[in-house]
Amino acid sequence: MTAVIPSIEFFEGLPEDLSGVSLRRNRAGVRIVLFSFDRLRAIDRFNSYTKRFANALKLTDSEGEISIEPSSVQFIFGGDEGDELKRVECKLEIDRDDHWERLMRFMQRYAEANGMEYGEAKG
């Protein structure tokens, strides 16, 4: 059996490199995940992928596939002219415990496969 390398994709077959992640909870108890990407391959090749974007982020690991629609995607620009893409932030809102637990298992696998440290805040 072939091991599945955890991946994050906006477009099928075009894995992205996660730069950072932040986990929060709003006042209503909804869990919020903020993925940050310093660069998106999807932007580099946007014109050739426009028809395959399903408005969902696809997370794949050995347990299967998660398809989740972001509540927002923000493009942050900077540089001298203000037109240099600095990062992209993708916000996910998760209100079900079973979905949260599944996402945490994905994040553990993704972090391990990509040499990232991952853990819940202490205290």
Residue carrying the six token digits 């299967």: 64
Length of the chain: 123
Q: What are the pLDDT digits (tens) for 16-48?
A: 999 999 999 989 889 999 999 998 887 766 545
Q: What are the pLDDT digits (tens) for 73-113?
A: 898 988 888 888 899 999 999 999 999 999 999 999 999 99
The backbone torsions φ and ψ at residue 70, rounded to the nearest 5 degrees and listed phi first, read -65, 145
Q: Say which CATH architecture domain 7-113 belongs to.
A: Beta Barrel (2.40)
pTM over cut 0.85: no
Per domain, the residue ranges of the chain are 7-113
- 49 pLDDT band, cuts 50/70/90, is very low
